[in-house]
């Protein structure tokens, strides 16, 4: 059971993380805001059943479900305009963003959750409802796919490492 004040404090602490995770799955800002708002509303309604130690993973799972619901409603592909600027800050930021967006949703999601948002492998497994070994496998596959896409972006742009 989670107290109301703890719930509010935890939500404030992870609000930006929720939005960035949402941006890896949905393609426009309005949909992301809707998904985050729906996820928070559902978590609030069930706050009496939430284990405080698993709150972040629980809330992330709700958000992922909401993103899938919104994606099904749209049922069409929309090209993502951009990844939030704060998500990728590097010398080759555009190449990194483009390479990241070419990955499958599953690969992009585990990379963003682990490397950009700091989720532990166990938290990712809990949020995605998959075994820990599957998370490890997906991260390895995602890193390899990302490296391949990034190298192609660098070659395309004529940049050098």
pLDDT digits (tens, 9 = 90+) for 84-99: 444 444 455 666 777 8
- How far is Cα of residue 135 from the mean position of the Cα atoms in its chain? 14
Whats the size of the chain, residue-wise?
A: 161
* Backbone φ/ψ region at 50: left (φ over 0), alpha (ψ -120 to 50), beta: beta
Rounded percentage of the chain residues whose pLDDT exceeds 90? 42
User: DSSP character for 60?
Assistant: H
CB 58 within 8 A of CB 125: no
H helices of the chain, in order, are 4-25, 29-45, 55-74, 93-101, 105-111, 121-128, 132-157
Candidates 104, 24, 103; CA nearest to 63 is 24
Res 87: pLDDT: 44
Go through 61-79 and write b for each residue having 16 or more CB atoms within 10 A of its CB, e for each that does not: bbbbebbeebbeeeeeeee
The stretch 97-103 carries a mean pLDDT of 82
- What are the pLDDT digits (tens) for 35-94? 999 999 999 998 888 888 888 999 999 999 999 888 877 654 434 444 444 444 445 566
Candidates 108, 106, 98, 90; CA nearest to 20 is 108
Q: How far, in Å, CA of 114 to CA of 138, rounded?
A: 11
CB 67 within 8 A of CB 26: yes
């Amino acid at each position: 059971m989670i107290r109301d004040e703890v719930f509010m404090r935890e939500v404030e602490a992870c609000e930006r993380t929720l939005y960035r995770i949402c941006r890896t799955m949905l393609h426009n800002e309005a949909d992301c805001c809707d998904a985050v708002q729906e996820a928070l509303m559902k978590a609030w309604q069930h706050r009496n059943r939430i284990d405080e130690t698993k709150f972040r993973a629980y809330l992330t799972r709700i958000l992922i479900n909401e993103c899938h619901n919104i994606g099904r409603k749209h049922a069409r592909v929309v090209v993502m305009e951009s990844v939030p600027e704060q998500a990728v800050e590097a010398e080759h930021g555009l190449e990194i963003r483009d390479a990241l967006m070419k990955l499958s949703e599953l690969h992009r999601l585990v990379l963003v959750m682990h490397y950009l948002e700091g989720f532990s492998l166990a938290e990712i497994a809990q949020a995605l409802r998959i075994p820990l070994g599957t998370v490890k496998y997906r991260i390895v596959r995602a890193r390899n796919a990302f490296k391949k896409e990034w190298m192609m972006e660098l070659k395309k742009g004529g940049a050098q490492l």
